[in-house]
Structure 1
Amino acid sequence: MTIAMITGANKGVGFATARGLAQKGVTVWMGARNIVRGAAAEAQLRAEGLDVRLLEIDVTDSASIARSVDRIVADGRGLDILVNNAGIMPETFNEGAERCKPSEVDSDMLHRVFGTNFFGAIEVIRQFLPLLRRSPVPRIVNVSSRLGSMALQTDADWPGRGVNQLGYSSSKAALNMATVIFAYELRDTAIKVNAVSPGIVATDLNGAGADRLIGRPGYGSPEDGAVLVVACATMPDDGPTGAFFGPGGLIGW
């Protein structure tokens, strides 16, 4: 039996990933900061006959992460797949504010973005790593973004260049580097560590303005975005580690 834990699994790409993995026979711990929303998401997938269970976790709270580890340990079946999906984009889109210029982003906002998108993900990996080391098929998937790609951000012809978000893009670039760093540390183990950009997906994260800002006519569905996440989470033993995947294939760091 394969066991997965997904942060931010009560909605969007995280929810679709939970469904996609559970449909493959994986038992999924659905991590959620909001217990009420998490319970509703769990009930929805259970009604579909899927083996999911709610896990209350706030990735910005080390003690909350530790309690989550303890609960999975107490369950007695270990952990095989860790998906760092929880993320925020407060500079624009999801809080009803106009887009902030990089020079106008205050330090409190930057700390908040990095606290969830980078430091939270690192702490989740750190605390869950002992469990993953015991698995025969351990996988870590960091849900990133093309906005965190230095290769794309320095391409003058890339349509996403105009988004120009200091906090979100920088935090995802940092997460990408962490992916490479952890993959190197764990290179002689069975643990594979990869980053995935789901693409432009209609979620609460980006709201109604992303198609205008990116210059695309519309969004994909959360299910579209989850396809790559599920594929990396179930990567075969001879698959790559330390790679960055997007809808069109490998993405340059």
Structure 2
Amino acid sequence: MTTTLVTGANKGLGLETTRRLIAAGHTVYAGIRDLASGGAAREFGAIPVQLDVTDQDSVDKAIAALPELDVLINNAAIVGTSWGLDDLDVEAMRMAFETNVFGIVRVTQAALPLLRRSSNPVIVNVASGLGFPRALLDPDDDSFNGYMVPYASSKAAVITLTVQYAKNLPRMRINASDPGYTATDLNQHSGHQSVTEGTDATVALALLGPDGPTGEFHSRRGHITY
């Protein structure tokens, strides 16, 4: 049995990832900041665990509650408060990075001892095309019209973080996924993709075997070359 932890699993992409991995036979621990909002994850058969990626004590307790761990899905993220330059300040940057980047480091570092015991350890970091300069500069890409600095910068950091973790941990399969423009609370459900489409890459990467790729960035259409 494969044991998986999904952060930010109470709704949107995290909840759909949880549902799909349970359907694939995983035992899924649903990391949820407020357990009162974990009803949907419970209905799918997940085991809710209180987890706030911005709180080290919460992270440590959540990881300590796991009997084992094979797959870590770092999904929790926020858009933040800044949508342009007029409202941009250091605090807006710090807020986005606290959840989207530092949160991944907190959870991953705490989870490494368990992952190292797995015969097939996998980490998937949910990034975004908004963190990929080529997409940001392509008028035909959905990401071109995204101007927010904190969110895009934090997702660029997630992609680089993924590559560096993969290089440092060659026995693990560590990759980043791009959900694409998916209808979630983060964009007021304006995205043209369903959450199922938006989790295609994450789920595929979560199901990788020991011979799968590592250090890569994938969308639902496959490998995105750097």
The TM-score normalised by the length of structure 1 is 0.85
* Shift in alpha-carbon separation, 1:155–1:200, aligned structure 2, 3 A: closer
Cα displacement string for residues 74-120 of structure 1 (whole angstroms, at most 9, x for unaligned residues) = xx3x100000000001246xxxxxxx313531221111110000000
Task: Give, in angstroms, the shift of residue 205 of structure 1.
Answer: 1.2
1:201 pairs with 2:164: no
Q: Which residue of 2 aligns with 1:82?
A: 72
Q: Which residue of 1 aligns with 2:42?
A: 43
Q: Which residue of 2 aligns with 1:144?
A: 127
| Deviant stretches of 4+, over 3 Å | 154-159
CA contact (8 A) 1:152 1:252 kept: no
Counterparts of 1:108 and 1:148 in 2: how far apart (Å)? 19
Q: CA RMSD in A?
A: 1.5
Instruction: Please tell me the residue identity of whatever aligns with 2:220.
Output: P
Over the matched positions of the two proteins, sequence identity in percent amounts to 38
1:26 pairs with 2:26: yes
Q: Which has the higher relative contact order, 1 or 2, with Cα contacts under 8 A spaced 6 or more apart? A: 1
CA contact (8 A) 2:201 2:222 kept: no
Q: Which residue of 2 aligns with 1:56?
A: 50
- Of residues 113, 123, 129, the one that matches 2:112 is 129
Q: Which residue of 1 aligns with 2:198?
A: 225
Q: Which residue of 1 aligns with 2:91?
A: 108
Task: Give, in angstroms, the shift of residue 129 of structure 1.
Answer: 0.7
Q: What count of residue pairs does the alignment treat as equivalent?
A: 226
Q: Which residue of 2 aligns with 1:15?
A: 15
Q: Which residue of 1 aligns with 2:217?
A: 244
Cα displacement string for residues 27-62 of structure 1 (whole angstroms, at most 9, x for unaligned residues) = 000000011102x1233213xxxxx20010000001
Counterparts of 1:54 and 1:20 in 2: how far apart (Å)? 16
Gaps of 5+ in 2: none
The TM-score normalised by the length of structure 2 is 0.95
Larger radius of gyration: 1
